Structure 1
Amino acid sequence: MPLFMDIHSLGAGVTVADVAKAHAADLATQGAYDVSYLRYWVDEGKGQIFCLVEAPDAEAAHTVHREAHGLVADAIFEVEEG
């Protein structure tokens, strides 16, 4: 299955705790779309979040974020693990 990295730029106020809640919502939603959110990283200082996800396509990954919590990515890149 393809692997994607997405980037969210939310600005000041993003906390690891808030992102953990959003990730839990992704996990609860992802099964309906054959998506698997694997890991995430947070840069609190810059207000950025990075998510690693296996999905059939970028749109499926986007749909899970939108339905789970509404925090859609600014960009989604297909990546290969090295």
Structure 2
Amino acid sequence: MAWLGIVLSVPALRVVCGGGTDDGAGVPDGLPASAGVALQYIALAQAGSSSGLWPVAAGRVVVGLAGAGVATVLLSLG
């Protein structure tokens, strides 16, 4: 069932990232973003229920820092 979701998500990502066109210009941005969300969910699944909200909080901090790093690099390039 998980593989079916993966197989269906790739064409759906192309449709969503195309913005109504058929060129799929947003796919190169959408694939890494989707992989990052999947990685976050996989990491959260490893945490036990006794850990409370700390894994979620830590994940949000890491995402914020990674986003700031990517933004800094992109702004310095362009």
* TM-score for the superposition, normalised by structure 2: 0.30
Task: From the two aligned structures, give the one with the greater helix fraction.
Answer: 2
RCO comparison, higher one (Cα < 8 Å, 6+): 1
Task: From the two aligned structures, give the one with the greater strand fraction.
Answer: 1
